[in-house]
Structure 1
Amino acid sequence: MARVVPRLSFVLVALCLAGAAHAQSCPATLPAQGAPIAAPLPVFPADNWWNTDISTAPVDALSPAYIAWIDPARQVHPDFGAGQGANAVYGFPYAVVNGAQPKWPVTFEYWDESDGVNLSTGQGVPFYPLPQNVLTSVGWVEGGPPATVDLRGSNDRHILIVDCTNRTLYELYNVWFSSQQNRWYAGSGAFFDMKTNNRRPEGWTSADASGLAIFPGLVRFDEAANAGVAEIQHAFRVTMRNTNGHVYPASHTAGSTSGALPMGARLRLKKNVNGVDPVTRTNDPAARKIFRAMQKYGLIVADNGSDMYISGTYDVRWNNDVLNPAFHSLRASDFEVVQLGWKPSAVPTMTIADVAVAEGQSGTKAMTFTVRLSAASAQTVTASYATSNVTAVAGSDYVSAIGSVSFAPGQTSRTISVTVKGDRTRESAETFRVTLTNPVNTTLADGVAAGTITNDDLIRTGGTGQKTVRAPAAVRFEK
């Protein structure tokens, strides 16, 4: 995996970011290799970059040029499967441990961009919960053989570990354990709290060249082949032969090849290619589920490798005789590149303000309610509205209203008008509600307004020396 010279100093991550209050379900037997991950799914927050719906994101202006650089005829390949034997582990194995798993220090090549390091010495501290299995068993370390076999020069040798108690993730790149020295070595290492969207510092690597976590971008058997999981809810990790810089959400650059995609670039499987949905090119339900996720969540360029290689977990249950031809039915030309660095705009909130007007002694007048957005949106924002009685009565005090309010892109203020009827009846102030519902591209921060009709007719008190007083003001009601 290509690397560049590190430039940022390390900030040590606290060992106890997640406590017992965040405990999650764990497999009955631990450590476990490739065990299903307990809910909630996806494994990072729903608004994490891996879990972001990009189905309506804009296409990059250079998308055709990027696809041409890859080669439009390039087949998509599943870089995972069911190989057997010590040297035939295809894809990423991952281990599941609990919070009691003993932690080891690791000596890193890129120590100043790795987690679990003493700043003053550059040496690792006990931080990574490495189970004994990675030292003794085939299939716990990427590439196959246990970590005691030094294959760092010919294999990436990743180790991925999920702490199911604290819902945290540990990832190591280019790992080797020296039995003679009783010491762990690795190129780099990273820690992720899967309950947060914490991103690596700008310029930092991780266990991946892009600075991203690996595990959340893998095609997992327990998602794809599980009929109980309706749809996969995240993007997938993809590699390219070369890259050029990096864009959000990546934090690290590992190449400067002109014309190549940057780390962090997103590709999206088209929903229509020559009038046909490419998902239908295979009848395999697992592959179809994977392809639908490529349409909704896409692929994220995360490492240098082979063009259009999709990363997944090592699992002997994969059927390569079905998986390979299904993936090979897709070509690079079936994809488009999403606008580089794209991320969804923050959804604005909508509010509606209370209004009070004097009713008048005859005729009608307009009561104008102002509806506001907390920020301008690049999309059209709408909501429905309707009036309802409180103490005011539709038909006699005001005219009921129902409709919708719409904000064009860039607009932050709109109005709703309700007609109020005047009369000479001596009465207290009366109120009705205007309620917003069905928000689109917004959320309702305050969706109910009070419309107060204040009385302007004089009320006389009895007795000698009569005087006049105004009708009492309205009392604010609870929304």
Structure 2
Amino acid sequence: MRRSHWLSIFASALPLLAAAAPLPRFPPGAVWNQDVSRAPLAANSASMVSTLQGLGGWGAGDDFQIDFSMYVLQADAASPTVSVVAWPDADDYYAPDCDAPGFAFPVPAGGAIEGSPGYACDHENADCHLLVQQGDALYEAYAANVAGTSLQTICALRWDLTRRYPRNGRGEQCTSADAAGFPIAPLLFNADEVAAAIPVEGDIGHAIRFVLPNARIADDRYVHPASHGTLRTSGPDASVPYGVRMRLRADFDLGRYNAAARVLLRTMQRYGIVLADGGNIALTGESDRYTTAKWAALGIDEHVFVDGTPSPRVTDFEVVETGPRHVVTYDCVRNPDDFLLIDGYDY
């Protein structure tokens, strides 16, 4: 299970990147971009929700909080690169799940790793995700630290943003820089996309990543669109598994939240939230360090949903049907890069 720690964002003397592009997106029709507002519910939706609430609901004292420690960096063709290497003190590199060490990973000037002011990160005590888009490629790494010309990491991989991945992602039983095998950056939200949706009372057009404490996730199970779970969660089978897609109920009262918060709530009603990893802070938004819009100006902070009335609870959500549970084995079988499949999601 991955570590999740709330880290302070330190001021940095490094120059800022060029104006941020929108968060990386997969093509129309990708599972993350599918409207699930009318999708059928899992037969045991109510019991899973009830079990999760009985276990304590969200992390952080059942507060629906937001972590703003991740960055999504934009690299151009001239950006410097470092070579991916496995951490010398790591138990192992996630293989064949992640791409083999040795490939070039872009590190644009002025960038930073999650929760850090620059490219150095304490991977022993933090998740240290590094997320970089370069054209149609999305590079993501977990437990990352740049040392000289090397990127030390437990997992580094490239997502092809032009592809509609099959329902088991990069391959059955395969992890990624997120425990469920998901891409990370396309499931975040940032201040620019929220600001753009406010005037039209819209949404951000894709599902949102969320996390739960380990003991509240069903042990040894996952459902698609996840392709991986863990053998170290300790929640009962009746709770939600990795990959679960939860939809905010249509009758939830959005009226007492500000315009920016309503954008996110509408997104949760239309596209849902997907369980990506273990941790204590439920939601993950991108830091506004590199965005034009700023969270403070939008009236958004880590407690915007905690302070609202009513505040979203697990019982305000329902579970969308996405298929049977898979038993976790860790026996990753990667899909070929040219693998083509109509995903079969009947939303």
1:92 Cα deviation from its structure 2 partner: 1.1
Output the CA distance in 1 between the equivalents of 2:204 and 2:254: 14
- Aligned partner of 2:174 in structure 1 is 204
1:96 Cα deviation from its structure 2 partner: 0.3
1:70 Cα deviation from its structure 2 partner: 2.4
Whether 1:247 aligns to 2:223 is yes
User: 1:318-348, CA deviations, whole angstroms, 9 ceiling, x for partnerless residues?
Assistant: 1296444541221111111112438xxxxxx
Letter in 1 for 2:189: V
Contact 1:281–1:326, Cα closer than 8 Å, also in 2: no
- Aligned partner of 1:218 in structure 2 is 188
Contact 1:97–1:161, Cα closer than 8 Å, also in 2: yes
Letter in 1 for 2:209: R
- Aligned partner of 1:159 in structure 2 is 130
**Quick one: which of 142, 145, 150 aligns to 1:173?**
142
Output the CA distance in 2 between the equivalents of 1:171 and 1:184: 11
- Aligned partner of 2:42 in structure 1 is 60
1:79 Cα deviation from its structure 2 partner: 2.3
1:77 Cα deviation from its structure 2 partner: 2.4
- Aligned partner of 1:261 in structure 2 is 240
Output the CA distance in 2 between the equivalents of 1:170 and 1:378: 26
- TM-score when normalising by structure 1: 0.55
1:249 Cα deviation from its structure 2 partner: 0.8
1:115 Cα deviation from its structure 2 partner: 4.5
Q: Which has the larger radius of gyration?
A: 1
Contact 1:110–1:188, Cα closer than 8 Å, also in 2: yes
1:112 Cα deviation from its structure 2 partner: 1.6
Whether 1:79 aligns to 2:57 is no
Output the CA distance in 1 between the equivalents of 2:345 and 2:321: 15
Output the CA distance in 1 between the equivalents of 2:203 and 2:141: 29
Q: CA RMSD in A?
A: 2.9
1:34 Cα deviation from its structure 2 partner: 7.2
Output the CA distance in 1 between the equivalents of 2:223 and 2:141: 23
- Aligned partner of 2:85 in structure 1 is 107
- Aligned partner of 2:8 in structure 1 is none
Identity of aligned residues (%): 30
Contact 1:78–1:312, Cα closer than 8 Å, also in 2: no
Output the CA distance in 2 between the equivalents of 1:299 and 1:219: 12
- Aligned partner of 1:279 in structure 2 is 254
Output the CA distance in 1 between the equivalents of 2:97 and 2:107: 16
- Aligned partner of 2:10 in structure 1 is none
Letter in 2 for 1:189: A
Contact 1:113–1:206, Cα closer than 8 Å, also in 2: no
Letter in 2 for 1:271: A
**Quick one: which of 313, 319, 325 aligns to 1:337?**
319
**What secondary structure is seen at the aligned counterpart in 2 of 1:234?**
coil
**What secondary structure is seen at the aligned counterpart in 2 of 1:169?**
strand
Letter in 1 for 2:163: T
Output the CA distance in 2 between the equivalents of 1:220 and 1:248: 25
User: 1:12-36, CA deviations, whole angstroms, 9 ceiling, x for partnerless residues?
Assistant: xxxxxxxxxxxxxxxxxx9827713
**What secondary structure is seen at the aligned counterpart in 1 of 2:171?**
coil
Letter in 2 for 1:220: N
- TM-score when normalising by structure 2: 0.74
Summarize the Cα distance change of 1:125–1:152 in structure 2 as closer, same or farther, 3 Å threshold: same
| Equivalence map 1:456-467=2 (5 Å) | none
| Equivalence map 1:63-142=2 (5 Å) | 63-71=45-53, 74=58, 75-80=62-67, 90-108=68-86, 109-117=92-100, 124-134=101-111, 140-142=112-114
Output the CA distance in 2 between the equivalents of 1:100 and 1:341: 43
1:116 Cα deviation from its structure 2 partner: 4.3
